[in-house]
Amino acid sequence: MLSGRRLDLLDPSPFDIEIEDIAHGLARVARWNGQTVGDHAFSVAQHSVVVQEIVAHIQPDIEPRWLLAALLHDASEYVIGDMISPFKSALGVNYKDFESRLETAIHVRFGLPAKTPRAIKTLIKTADKACAYFEATQLAGFSKTEALGFFGRPPVGYELEIRPEPASIAQARYMDRYHALVAARDAAAAPRPTAWTPKVPRRAAGRRG
């Protein structure tokens, strides 16, 4: 890794994972294997930021830590690349186990539960498919009917115009979003000071003169 870390892919350690390496790698991994229109590929880094935004649109009151999980939902691809789901299945269970170990290490590194709750995972997957719908119809040559068949209908009221960014910009935006979400998560988790109630002086007991 450019940070100097040496990640053991067969036994990944959270201590060898850095957000700078993730952002750098994802900004240079192309969605759709680069088979998209425009001068720049639509990177996994840019995709991840959009997915996080869609999650926030679907569930505005969601905890910041789950928005961070949404941003990191494809983080493992910074070392293994972006493979389409049918190809992952063709590689078999061993690949899925490997991917799962890497995702667990990433979550532990960034203070998230090792396993994402099922409801949150489903929400992120819904947002992931919504982003894929916009990518397919705007960048990859799919008709709307064809994209609906593969990815379903995007959330009501959410519109997206995709403009693929250069790798350097996608990387910077990913890092900015990461820092913002970590700050929001830490603020939400910080203990709140107990409200101070002034004490009313008590009158001494006794007879009135």
Q: Taking the CB of residue 10, how many other CB atoms lie within 10 A of it?
A: 8
DSSP 60: T
Nearest to 31 by CA among 17, 12, 51: 51
Q: Which two tokens stand for residue 183?
A: 């700050």
pLDDT at 208: 45
Find tokens 């049918």 and name the residue. Answer: 86
> Token pair for residue 194?
């107990």
Q: Of the given ranges (21-25, 123-127, 194-198), which has the lowest mean pLDDT? A: 194-198
191 pLDDT above the threshold of 60:
yes
Token pair belonging to 178: 């990461």
Buried b (16+ CB within 10 A) or exposed e, 95-121: eeebbeebbbbbbbbbebeeebeeebe
In the 8-state DSSP scheme, what is residue 164? -
The mean pLDDT value of the chain amounts to 88
Q: Inform me whether the pLDDT recorded for 86 exceeds 90.
A: no
Count Cα neighbours of 178 within 13 Å in the Cβ-side half-sphere: 21
Position 200 scores a pLDDT of: 59
Q: Which residues pair with 43 in a beta bridge?
A: 30
Quick one: pLDDT at residue 1? 75
Query: What global pTM score does this model have?
Result: 0.86
Cβ atoms of 166 and 40 closer than 8 Å: yes
Amino acid identity at 79: V
Q: pLDDT band at residue 24, thresholds of 50, 70 and 90? A: very high
Among 31, 27, 116, residue whose Cα is nearest residue 69: 116
Residue that is written with structure tokens 């539960």 in the block: 113
- DSSP H stretches of helix in the chain: 19-26, 44-58, 64-71, 77-80, 85-91, 93-109, 118-138, 144-151, 167-189
CA distance 143 to 140: 9
User: Using one digit for the tens of pLDDT, what is the confidence trace for 154-168?
Assistant: 998 889 999 999 999
Query: Residue 12 gets which letter from DSSP?
Result: -
Provide mean pLDDT across the span 69-79.
95
Question: Residues of the chain with pLDDT > 70: what percent?
Answer: 86
The total number of residues shown for the chain amounts to 209
- Give the distance from CA 30 to its chain's centroid: 17
